[in-house]
Amino acid sequence: MNHKSLELFKRGLYLIAQLMLIIFILTGCALLPADREPLPPPLIEPPRIRLNLHAVERGDIVHQALGAGTFITAKEYNLSFLNNSGRLDVIHATIGMQVEEGQILAELETEQIKFDITQMEIDLTKMRLRHDAMKMEHDRLIDSKKDLKQAFETEAGEQNDRELENVLHQIARSEIDLRIHELSLEQHTMHINRAKNRLNAMKIKAPIEGTIVFMERLAVGAWINAYQILFTVADPSELFLRYNPAVLTGFEVGMRVKVDVGGVEHSGTIVMTPYGEPAVDEENPRFEDSIIIKVEELPDGVDPGDSASIRIIFQEKSDVIIIPRAGLRTMGARNYVIVRKNEMNIEVDVEVGVETPTMVEIVTGLEEGDQIILR
């Protein structure tokens, strides 16, 4: 094969190769998948709004306070040895004991003060004897003055005059000494009386007929400080019910109260509040944060410390429009509700009456059967 034929052969092979490459590319593109049109997004149904509807109705509403109280005595006395301190010598009382007025409950050691009183009484006796002797001497001088005056009337003379002057001087001195001694007697008697009062104060006595409702844990020989409260004596003849609410406002003297004592309901009346005129004991600090209730016809067997359930009615109405508190809405001083009517929500202003923690009376603005939306 000559050179020219060889060139033609190579050119033919080149053309065949290019033609095969074009065919391969065209057949490769034909094998690729065709582009798909995008699918439309699924239709999502909007959520159905669920309304908390409530049908307005008529009914009874009671604004009341429920709680429990404790029976107390109005008259209680805390007892101590006042300004005396010392070792406890004798204990005569026990907790819960019934005592009579003036009954001794406890005593401090008094041996030293009794000894001191005995010594002072002996000294007082000596002083009185000395006073009697001084009085006798004074009386003798008075008699001498009388004799000298009689002698002077019978026979005047310089000697009698000097003697009379001397006697008068002694009488004057005697009167001064007697007065000083009388004042000393009075002062000494005051010291004895003070010591006796202190001796008497070394005993705790019941101020009234009553019951010991508190007693400190005591032991003979223990040191007792002045003004340390050892006993509380109460008068159980008249009991009151003490109630300590979380909020003290709203209670008034004269309000009626229902009291449950042992499963039996009794009537009661508020007789004292922190903000009202007290009818029990205005100076007793126990009542500063309390509502005090007088229970009528209290049964026997109720003691101080016993408890009772109470119900205090502030307001009560029957057959009125009432709604749950969750249906009432406020904005400043405005009270309103949302009424559902004809598939629409309508704000309606209302006037509120009696309110409780769960229900509200609607005086104007709603009618029975209206549908309101609760929060």
Same domain flag for 82 and 131? no
Give the pLDDT confidence score for residue 278 in this predicted structure.
Answer: 56
Residues 91, 223, single domain; the answer is yes
Q: Are residues 131 and 250 in the same domain?
A: no
Phi–psi pair at 279, nearest 5 degrees: -125, 15
Q: Is the pLDDT of residue 187 over 60?
A: yes
Residue 94: closest CA among 216, 204, 223: 216
Upper half-sphere CA count for residue 177 (Cβ side, 13 Å): 16
Nearest to 156 by CA among 145, 148, 146: 148
Q: How many CB atoms lie within 10 A of CB 257?
A: 23
Q: How confident is the model at residue 129 (pLDDT cuts 50, 70, 90)?
A: very high
Residue 46 has pLDDT above 70, yes or no: no
Asked if residue 223 and residue 95 are part of one domain, the reply reads yes
Task: Using the predicted structure, report yes or no on whether residue 41 has a pLDDT greater than 80.
Answer: no
Give the single-character DSSP code of 327.
Answer: G
Helix (H, G, I), strand (E, B) or coil at 169: helix
135/250 same-domain check: no
Q: Is residue 125 part of a domain?
A: yes
Number of domains in the chain: 4
Tokens of 239: 């009991």
Asked if 196 and 117 touch (Cβ cutoff 8 Å), the reply is yes
Least confident stretch, 8-22, 194-208, 243-257: 8-22
Query: Helix (H, G, I), strand (E, B), or coil: what is residue 319?
Result: strand
Instruction: Tell me the sheet residues that pair with 69.
Output: 308
Residue 124 sits in the same domain as residue 162 = yes
In a domain, 17, yes or no: no
pLDDT tens per residue, range 57-105: 999 998 888 899 998 887 888 999 988 899 999 999 999 899 999 999 9
Task: Say whether both 121 and 195 belong to one domain.
Answer: yes
Phi, psi of 64 (to 5 degrees): -145, 165
Residue 36 CA: distances (Å) to CA of 4, 28, 33, 42, 43? 54, 19, 9, 18, 21
CA atoms of 61 and 321, how far apart (whole Å) = 9
Label residue 37 by pLDDT band (50, 70, 90).
Answer: low
Does residue 30 register a pLDDT over 70?
Answer: no
User: Does residue 13 lie in a domain region?
Assistant: no
Q: Which domain holds residue 214?
A: 77-107+207-233
We report the CATH number of the domain holding residue 301 as 2.40.30
**Radius of gyration of the chain, Cα coordinates, nearest whole angstrom:** 54
Pair (140, 85) in one structural domain: no
Q: Is the pLDDT of residue 36 over 80?
A: no
